[in-house]
Amino acid sequence: MATVKAVTEATPSWDPYARGCPSRDLLDRIGDKWSILVLGELGEHGVCRFTQLRTRLSGVSEKMLTQTLRALERDGLVLRTIYPAVPVRVEYALTPLGETLREPLKALKEWSLRHTTEVLAAREEYDARTS
């Protein structure tokens, strides 16, 4: 508990709504379409190979998945492990920091499942009004 307290006290007061703020950068990364799906997939299924992720995340291009995984690795949320084999095997998993996102992502997923019907109805109503 002392470690958490020390980190909290040392944290600058950042404003995630201010341009250029590191916390805004982080929210942009986590909220990115493919990042949230990659993090959710790794959170639900654990360690995955690149091809498994690409198959499970239908619609993502190889280039976009590569960029997303690199960015998440850079941010310390995803661990990339290379196994020297023929062919080379690469696996991705959440880091301990990435694991801390599992509950918030689960809550977002549950919210979206619970409210999809309402959102679709709101879209239809809006489209009918504006067309």
User: Is the Cβ–Cβ distance between 55 and 48 less than 8 Å?
Assistant: no
Question: Domains in the chain and their CATH numbers?
Answer: 14-130 (1.10.10.10)
Rounded percentage of the chain residues whose pLDDT exceeds 90? 71
Interval 63-114: pLDDT, tens: 999 999 999 999 999 999 999 989 889 999 999 999 999 999 999 999 999 9
Contacts of 110 (CB under 8 A, 6+ apart): none
The predicted-structure confidence for 27-49, as pLDDT tens digits, reads as follows 888 889 899 999 999 999 999 99
User: Rg of the chain over CA atoms, in angstroms?
Assistant: 18
Q: Is the dihedral of CA 87, 74, 39, 28 positive or negative?
A: negative
Q: Cβ contacts of residue 4 below 8 Å, gap of 6+?
A: none
Give residues with Cβ within 8 angstroms of 22, minimum separation 6.
Answer: 14
Q: What is the pTM of this model?
A: 0.81
Q: How far apart are CA 81 and CA 31, in angstroms?
A: 24
